[in-house]
Amino acid sequence: MALPSDPFILLSFVNTKLRDEFESLEKFCEITGENKEKIEKTLENIGYFYDKDSNSFK
């Protein structure tokens, strides 16, 4: 799966997947083979951090 390269589109894409299909960021990365640290770093660079309780980047 190719993730969007634009960080704001990535934010929307990942949050949608987390809301609709996956119970956690870890499960999303495990199933899709994506790099969790890379996603977190990219989204941290635009001020968003993963919140386990809401299962989304805020």
Closest among 3, 6, 57 to 32, alpha carbons compared = 3
Q: Give the per-residue pLDDT at 1.
A: 74
Q: Give the per-residue pLDDT at 50.
A: 98
Q: Give the per-residue pLDDT at 57.
A: 98
For residue 57 the two structure tokens come to: 């980047």
pTM of the model: 0.95
pLDDT in tens, 1-58: 799 999 999 999 999 999 999 999 999 999 999 999 999 999 999 999 999 999 999 9
Distances (CA, A) of 20 to 23, 41, 47: 9, 23, 23
